[in-house]
Structure 1
Amino acid sequence: MAVAPSVLGEIAEVFERNFRERGELGASISIWWNGIELLSESAGWCEKEQLRPWDSATMVPVYSATKGPAAATLLVALESAGLNPSSRVREVWSRFPVAEATFAHLLSHQCGLPALDQRASVWDHEAVVAAIEEQEPAWQLGHGHGYHPRTFGALLEEPVRRLTGMPLGEYWRQKIGDPLNLDFWIGLPEKYWPRVAKLYPGKAAKSDLEEGFYREFNQEGTLTRRAFSSPRGLHSVQEMNDPKAWSAGICSMGGIGTASALAKFYQAAIGALESPLSTEVRLALATVQSAAEDRVLLRPTVFTCGCQKDPVGVDGEKIRRLYGKNQAAFGHPGAGGSHGFGDPETGISFAYVMNQMELSVMPGQKCVEMIEALYDGL
């Protein structure tokens, strides 16, 4: 199913309108179909001082949009070791605190480990692992799920290190990033630092702060607040603009890349181009593992092994459409608005990255309206 030029034109018009009407500073959008990039739009500036024009080669931190590529990396490492998502985590990580948990449970946020009681720095992987090993789960396995915004990094990093003897970001480059020639990094080499745009935080409206998630987020001691606060460190957008964060390879939120690279990754994830991702890995990324009211995000969410899908209501219709009309589509957003997904039904993949963030853990209107224009034209 090719996308008509008129539809691509409508998407480009929304992209341009974001700059005119919605405060966009610098951004890129990329749409692929069956191995071909159909649309690549880039505009704006890498910083408010307008020192560097934003172009298709501009890279930017994408926060939790890192989680899809990171999950694929762990799945490839498991497969290479003769394991799979049904294997128990303790086969690789003997002191993992949830005895019966499989990698499918871990990758779909079911293990009850979104927050840590023991203080540990996000910069100290060994300390975070030790805190995880001592952590009492916030709920029992089989009793739903809750998004693990920050601990997810160590939960993936540690098994990859044990399986491969190397950091997850290095294994990502070796097995996926380099073979696909992706300008997407989990641990950015210094030579690419000049290509990184500066992020700017979103502003909170009063209505945002009264909404359920943000009310819990701003209240001390809640699971939501604790999940987004541990491990400690790297909480501000200003810190994410530091090369220390770019090079650290924190796979829950430290990925940096272009829109084209993120969309091309999801082409590989849906099998629309030849890639190192086996049928089994692609199936794991696409198959629902848990659909429930999220204990951390406080809204319905659906998780596969490392990715998200749109939740579906009792009538069989989607409750929201962050991934278009088709229920097979999957991907992962990043805080502030970045987003990437693939749709196996159409062969389409989509990615949007920007540096003027919005106050949201889900994609905002700047992104969603482009997705709507895409699917309205199919």
Structure 2
Amino acid sequence: MTQEIHGTVAAGFEAVREEFAAFVAGELPDYEGQLCAYVHGRRVVDLWAGDGAGADSLYGVYSSTKGAAHLVVALLVQDGTLELDRKVTYYWPEFAAEGKGTLTLRELISHRAGLVGTDAGFTPDELSDDRAMAERLADQKPFWRPGTAFGYHALVIGALTGEVVRRATGRSLQEIYQERIRAPYGLDFHLGLPAALEPRFRSVQPMAPTPKQQAILDAAPTGPHTLASIAFNAHVEGPGTLVDYANSRTVRAKGPASAGGVAAARGLARMYAAAISEVDEKAPLLKPDTIAEVGQIHSVGYDLVARAHRSYGLGFQATADTWHPFLGAGAFGHSGAGGSQAFADPRSGLAYGYTRRRMAFPGGAAPENNQLVKAVHTAALATTTRQH
């Protein structure tokens, strides 16, 4: 039975709906997801599919949360409250322990601290609490000499930069996000989901790999003491799964800034639209110089945790180099382990958000984003050309 595609697209974006429908038709029968995009601050794509899904359904978006967290940091840098080339210890003196005293905020936010986890790991309660993680991390010896290499700080980067924010402002990153970004723009993207919105949350469903995909997973190099295991807290007894993490009410309520966010695709796309464009007569959150700074590549090459080529700007993934090479230079955003993808492409004016309920193989931005982003970007360029 073919699933119905709900929602609308603007004139010139009909091919995006066709691409989304084609993917949904060939996907698992229980597919559920959303796709939204803005161009120069105007919503042009708003689609969803799945039994019981709606435009306002909310999903665990894992590391797409990092985009919201580091948009807060970008605003504070733009304000002059934070300075990228100051040492982290200027804001957080205790961070100097175990040889970390020379690390700058710029290096920290670019995944260069070597502080991807702790030797003993975190409890589930600690994983939901950024301040608890930050306190543990301050005492941890880094896993490589800070500043000399980079690796994905998957579950802790939001706690680390969030502690800098708290020390500099006296307020949590989540509070500033709510006040300056989420509330003013009416974003359906939450770092701390209110209990009243819980009925809209759609619990994450585990990955359902094909036999061929399962064979790839089984052949992947693993070990209890690898950097990847430490970064994903898999080196401790009974750590729980990523599915358990997003489905935890405690995680959703506290909204840890690395991976605890909950969003609809509308919220993801609208946040990036607000970052770079006028939206509903509100000025862009970021000035051109700040947009260029956060999208500039700071770490590129072999990621010691991912064991693959990766590129990072300031807290954001360098989306064109990491995921979609046809995007403009300076595109910035973040994907999530469940398959979500979100970014801004300042050169085309495109802001994109995608969610799905069932985790995608092999993790990170779901493969269908390749074709969906291409379709949206092609239409965005064509409509912009016609308008000019």
User: Aligned to 2:303, which of 294, 310, 325?
Assistant: 294
1:197 Cα deviation from its structure 2 partner: 1.2
Query: 1:111 aligned to 2:113?
Result: yes
1:361 Cα deviation from its structure 2 partner: 3.1
Q: Say which is worse superposed, 152-161 or 265-274, in terms of deviation.
A: 265-274
Correspondence for 2:358: 356
User: Aligned to 1:159, which of 164, 168, 174?
Assistant: 164
Matches within 5 A, 1:298-377: 298-310=307-319, 321-322=323-324, 324-377=326-379
- The one-letter amino acid paired with 1:268 is A
1:280 Cα deviation from its structure 2 partner: 4.8
Distance 1:282 1:145 in 2: 22
**CA deviation vs aligned residue, 1:260-305 (integer Å, no higher than 9, x gap):** 1111111122345413434454333212111121101111111111
TM-score by length of 2: 0.85
- The one-letter amino acid paired with 1:57 is D
Distance 2:300 2:219 in 1: 22
Matches within 5 A, 1:84-95: 84-95=83-94
1:245 Cα deviation from its structure 2 partner: 1.9
C-alpha spacing 1:259/1:132, structure 2 compared with 1 (3 Å): same
Correspondence for 1:50: none
Correspondence for 1:266: 272
C-alpha spacing 1:322/1:272, structure 2 compared with 1 (3 Å): farther
C-alpha spacing 1:179/1:224, structure 2 compared with 1 (3 Å): same
1:236 Cα deviation from its structure 2 partner: 3.6
Distance 2:47 2:223 in 1: 40
1:131 Cα deviation from its structure 2 partner: 2.2
- The one-letter amino acid paired with 1:29 is L
**CA deviation vs aligned residue, 1:52-80 (integer Å, no higher than 9, x gap):** x2111111110000001101112334554
Distance 1:252 1:126 in 2: 12
**CA deviation vs aligned residue, 1:108-153 (integer Å, no higher than 9, x gap):** 1011111211343313544422321121111123322100000113
Q: Say which is worse superposed, 220-229 or 200-209, in terms of deviation.
A: 200-209
**CA deviation vs aligned residue, 1:156-178 (integer Å, no higher than 9, x gap):** 22122222323221211011111
Matches within 5 A, 1:92-171: 92-97=91-96, 98-121=100-123, 122-171=127-176
Distance 1:83 1:293 in 2: 29
What SS class does the counterpart of residue 351 from structure 1 fall into? strand
What SS class does the counterpart of residue 64 from structure 2 fall into? helix
1:82 Cα deviation from its structure 2 partner: 3.1
TM-score by length of 1: 0.87
Question: Is the 8 Å Cα contact of residues 303 and 309 (structure 2) preserved in structure 1?
Answer: yes
Distance 2:285 2:56 in 1: 24
C-alpha spacing 1:241/1:264, structure 2 compared with 1 (3 Å): same
Correspondence for 1:82: 81
1:341 Cα deviation from its structure 2 partner: 0.7
1:207 Cα deviation from its structure 2 partner: 5.2
- The one-letter amino acid paired with 1:295 is L
Distance 1:206 1:215 in 2: 14
C-alpha spacing 1:205/1:188, structure 2 compared with 1 (3 Å): same
Correspondence for 1:219: 223
1:19 Cα deviation from its structure 2 partner: 2.4
Query: 1:35 aligned to 2:37?
Result: no
1:359 Cα deviation from its structure 2 partner: 2.7
1:255 Cα deviation from its structure 2 partner: 0.7
- The one-letter amino acid paired with 1:186 is L
1:211 Cα deviation from its structure 2 partner: 5.4
Question: Is the 8 Å Cα contact of residues 182 and 264 (structure 1) preserved in structure 2?
Answer: yes
Distance 1:210 1:78 in 2: 45
Matches within 5 A, 1:185-204: 185-204=190-209
Question: Is the 8 Å Cα contact of residues 134 and 159 (structure 2) preserved in structure 1?
Answer: yes
1:226 Cα deviation from its structure 2 partner: 1.3
Query: 1:228 aligned to 2:227?
Result: no
Q: Say which is worse superposed, 53-62 or 265-274, in terms of deviation.
A: 265-274
Distance 1:286 1:311 in 2: 10
Distance 1:285 1:214 in 2: 36
- The one-letter amino acid paired with 2:332 is F
Q: Say which is worse superposed, 250-259 or 131-140, in terms of deviation.
A: 131-140
Q: Say which is worse superposed, 291-300 or 84-93, in terms of deviation.
A: 84-93
What SS class does the counterpart of residue 267 from structure 1 fall into? helix
Correspondence for 1:72: 71
1:88 Cα deviation from its structure 2 partner: 1.6
- The one-letter amino acid paired with 2:229 is R
